Structure 1
Amino acid sequence: MNSPIPAPFAVYVHWPFCLSKCPYCDFNSHVRHGGYDESRYVRAIETELASTARRVPGRTVSSIFFGGGTPSLMQPQSVQAILDAIAKHWSVAPDAEVTLEANPTSVEATRFRGYRTAGVNRVSLGVQALDDASLKELGRLHTAQEALDAVAVARSIFERYSFDLIYARPRQTLAAWEAELKRAIAEAAEHLSLYQLTIEPGTPFYGLHKAGKLITPDDDLGRDLYDLTQQVCADAGLPAYEISNHARDGAECRHNLVYWRGHDYAGVGPGAHGRLTIDGRRCATETEKRPESWIMRVEAKGHGLIVDEALTPGETADEYLLMGLRLVEGIEPSRYTAIAGRTLDPARVSILRDEGAVETTADGRLRVTPSGFPVLDAVVADLAA
């Protein structure tokens, strides 16, 4: 009799430091012109991994993701030390996906071979644009050519790589984006992450936008840019599998699928989030954001947690809905019912189906339709109400 396949379990490692802060970014990233003690931070991550593993022992890690910030500022031996610590506390699957986010600069590309030797088998490059004027406006420190050179280095070292682009940028036209996207697809082997520029509160772009000094495409052009993106990628064999992510069949980011499918993941490092099942209850964890406060907390307590709470069945079910409907595959209503202890409201599902926003697949999954994705937030809010 075959034993059941264990649910995926992922580890997320947050490296919070950047060389500069991009004006659109609201991630937990910090610039330290005076430098920082890299080895001390690595030791603190090792400590936090140990304390997390004591809470969820015996798991098999299916994916590891170094995010940030800018993890490609780390020395390869630091990445090696963290991977060794993960392997010390949990089993790591032989085919585990190990991704590292990287800036596409020539300096950081020189470390790629060291990362590969350490055990990284996939890189995700923050290209963001393929024209120099846009890169400058976005606060990026690389040129388009430097980015393409870094992609070429990644291609020569890693079997799997991906890169990000931001669209719906100021003054962007449909024709310009189509040309840029086709150029990107020619460079992308299997995966692209394509994000519409969003103006986040607290960022420099927010102030400029509010003052009328940063004009972004209106809703109609934004929708046209989104539709064009879906069509061009699908025609090139890179259809969307999630609202902002496109991949060839089988090349999806397995780590991010852990989030979107509602499985467990440990989060370590400053400002990292996690979801862990402990004694049959799903727990939400979050660590202190500020690097200096986080490291002092870890050194004093063995962890940097500031949030550590059991979610209610309703909260867990709403998360499953919120994350799962981002995927083209959708969700299993029976799993939602098992988590929530109640079914989705059939009347609401029926109305959304009649409006063409959702559909039920032949195998019973509920998913958002292509015409529903541009209004995904409203669809989720309606179903979760």
Structure 2
Amino acid sequence: MIPIKVAGPVPGEARNAATTALQYLQPGALNLTALPPLSLYIHFPWCVRKCPYCDFNSHEAKGELPEKDYLDAVRLDLEQSLPMIWGRKIHTVFIGGGTPSLMSAGGLDRLLSDVRTLLPLEIGAEITMEANPGTFEAERFKSYRDSGVNRLSIGIQSFNGAHLKALGRIHDHTEALRAVEIARTTFDNFNLDLMFALPSQTLDEARRDLETALSFAPPHLSMYHLTMEPNTVFAKYPPALPDDDLSADMQDMILDATAAAGYHHYEVSAYAQAGKQSRHNLNYWGFGDYLGIGAGAHSKISFPHRVLRQARYKQPNSFMEAARRGNPVQEEHEIARADMGFEFMLNTLRLVDGFEPNLFAERTGMNIGSIGKALNEAEAKGLLYRDHKLIRPTELGQRFLNDLQEMFLAG
């Protein structure tokens, strides 16, 4: 799963017209001149085995999955969310997890049929599905493609058997290679997820992993530095990891090798061939909107005078029960005006090529002068480049991205 962090959880159904009208009158209300593009995220919460580094909402599958009951609940979730997004077109769809490739071909077909029935999809919408090598079956993946999936994201993590074992992955080296071959022959567009700075990994081992991935000429690569996330097995029992200097050498090697192979480094962890950037994730990083349905899914939905965040119930059974009761949203809040600048910059500063200054006002409903002090300080420290057409992190800013992002906490 591509690890995109969204700020804060948030419950609830769409406000009725009277409530919305009151919002317009509240002091400090935003003023969005246009609503951002809207994406759809669908969460499938089960996996074969929980990996020790994983902090996503995933649950080990025990026995037969309640696929039909879960898909019924997802449809209910989508139906109950429709009033928030009436009239808005869906530009991209991402089915993540967990391991969505545990879903039957019939289940996936039903899911996308429900989506098309209830939502206006943009013609040629990017529809991505995550898959793990231990679940690859060639015929089933052809069925996924025939149902409408046009982009696959494969969680390889490593081609090294020892590292796969250390990461708790259910596939081995041979299955990893086979999965990429099936993806390449079935889909025109696919992404490979790899990790580096793995337990006891050497620079040469990281290079061999990348070279193996590049030998398949994937349209898109995601290269993630392994981090010790709270509430994971690795956080409790940390393995021996490469030090900062070795990790930096790995990062430099990745930048050089991908550039030499013709890939554009367009986001902190993302590399793409020309025209193959992830449209779904670009919408996240551009502070676009997304409706998240399914267990634990997060949403960010903009209205003319406010921006709403939601989070669904995380436990699959709790989510299904709540959907049947009529409201699967556990938490909800509006992004406070004081936090809007930070939330925008938290996302957009991940873009290597930066963003146009006008996008700030368009997506936040605020004047860019509201973060002027932090912009000046970041520029003075050499972490940020800006002119009247562009704001982007410098190479130094990319290296110290967390520090750069935190400068906007105070607005």
Q: TM-score range by the shorter chain?
A: over 0.9
Rounded to whole Å, the distance in 2 between the matches of 1:188 and 1:129 is 16
Structure 1 match to 2:233: 204
Determine if the alignment matches structure 1 residue 266 to structure 2 residue 295: no
- Aligned residue runs from structure 1 range 249-288, under 5 A: 249-278=274-303, 280-288=305-313
Using the TM superposition, give the Cα deviation of residue 259 of structure 1 relative to its aligned residue in structure 2, in angstroms. Answer: 0.7
Determine if the alignment matches structure 1 residue 353 to structure 2 residue 379: yes
Alignment: residue pair count = 376
Give unmatched runs, 5+ long, in structure 1.
none
Determine if the alignment matches structure 1 residue 327 to structure 2 residue 351: yes
Q: Which amino acid aligns with 2:359?
A: R
Secondary structure at 2:237's aligned position in 1? helix
Structure 2 match to 1:171: 200
Rounded to whole Å, the distance in 2 between the matches of 1:31 and 1:158 is 28
Rounded to whole Å, the distance in 1 between the matches of 2:205 and 2:149 is 34
Determine if the alignment matches structure 1 residue 226 to structure 2 residue 251: yes
Deviates more, 1:229-238 or 1:344-353: 344-353
Rounded to whole Å, the distance in 1 between the matches of 2:389 and 2:370 is 13
Using the TM superposition, give the Cα deviation of residue 177 of structure 1 relative to its aligned residue in structure 2, in angstroms. Answer: 1.2
Deviates more, 1:350-359 or 1:245-254: 350-359
Change (3 A) 1:55 1:132: same
Structure 1 match to 2:369: 343
Q: Which amino acid aligns with 2:334?
A: A
Change (3 A) 1:251 1:23: same
Secondary structure at 1:326's aligned position in 2? coil
Secondary structure at 1:343's aligned position in 2? helix
Rounded to whole Å, the distance in 1 between the matches of 2:374 and 2:39 is 34
Instruction: Judge conservation of contact 2:357–2:368 (CA < 8 Å) in 1.
Output: no
Change (3 A) 1:148 1:347: same
Determine if the alignment matches structure 1 residue 378 to structure 2 residue 385: no
Please give the TM-score of this superposition, normalised by the length of structure 2.
Answer: 0.87
Q: Deviations over 1:165-214 (max 9, x none)?
A: 110012212222122212211113210000000011211111221xxxx1
Secondary structure at 2:382's aligned position in 1? coil
Rounded to whole Å, the distance in 2 between the matches of 1:232 and 1:311 is 40
Instruction: Judge conservation of contact 2:35–2:302 (CA < 8 Å) in 1.
Output: no
Rounded to whole Å, the distance in 1 between the matches of 2:230 and 2:35 is 40
Structure 2 match to 1:314: 338
Deviates more, 1:153-162 or 1:230-239: 230-239
Rounded to whole Å, the distance in 2 between the matches of 1:344 and 1:145 is 53
Secondary structure at 1:192's aligned position in 2? strand
Rounded to whole Å, the distance in 1 between the matches of 2:43 and 2:130 is 10
Secondary structure at 1:275's aligned position in 2? strand
- Aligned residue runs from structure 1 range 36-47, under 5 A: 36-47=65-76
Instruction: Judge conservation of contact 2:166–2:199 (CA < 8 Å) in 1.
Output: no
Deviates more, 1:101-110 or 1:17-26: 101-110
Give unmatched runs, 5+ long, in structure 2.
1-32
- The equivalent position to 2:315 in structure 1, one of 266, 273, 290, is 290
Change (3 A) 1:119 1:6: farther
Instruction: Judge conservation of contact 1:333–1:344 (CA < 8 Å) in 2.
Output: no
Q: Which amino acid aligns with 1:251?
A: K
Deviates more, 1:336-345 or 1:191-200: 336-345
TM-align CA RMSD: 1.9
Instruction: Judge conservation of contact 1:272–1:287 (CA < 8 Å) in 2.
Output: yes
Using the TM superposition, give the Cα deviation of residue 312 of structure 1 relative to its aligned residue in structure 2, in angstroms. Answer: 2.2
Using the TM superposition, give the Cα deviation of residue 144 of structure 1 relative to its aligned residue in structure 2, in angstroms. Answer: 1.6
Rounded to whole Å, the distance in 2 between the matches of 1:314 and 1:109 is 50
Rounded to whole Å, the distance in 2 between the matches of 1:95 and 1:204 is 40
Instruction: Judge conservation of contact 1:313–1:341 (CA < 8 Å) in 2.
Output: no
Rounded to whole Å, the distance in 2 between the matches of 1:185 and 1:314 is 44
Identity of paired residues, percent?
A: 36
Instruction: Judge conservation of contact 2:192–2:218 (CA < 8 Å) in 1.
Output: no
Rounded to whole Å, the distance in 1 between the matches of 2:142 and 2:155 is 18
Rounded to whole Å, the distance in 1 between the matches of 2:275 and 2:368 is 33
Q: Which amino acid aligns with 1:352?
A: A
Runs of 4 or more above 6 Å deviation: none
Please give the TM-score of this superposition, normalised by the length of structure 1.
Answer: 0.93
Q: Deviations over 1:265-306 (max 9, x none)?
A: 1100000001112354211011010111111101111x3101
Structure 2 match to 1:104: 133
Instruction: Judge conservation of contact 1:162–1:188 (CA < 8 Å) in 2.
Output: no
Structure 2 match to 1:193: 222
- The equivalent position to 1:65 in structure 2, one of 89, 94, 101, is 94
Change (3 A) 1:32 1:53: same
Instruction: Judge conservation of contact 1:56–1:278 (CA < 8 Å) in 2.
Output: no
Instruction: Judge conservation of contact 1:163–1:188 (CA < 8 Å) in 2.
Output: no
Rounded to whole Å, the distance in 2 between the matches of 1:63 and 1:243 is 21
Secondary structure at 1:266's aligned position in 2? strand
Using the TM superposition, give the Cα deviation of residue 308 of structure 1 relative to its aligned residue in structure 2, in angstroms. Answer: 2.3
Rounded to whole Å, the distance in 1 between the matches of 2:60 and 2:158 is 22
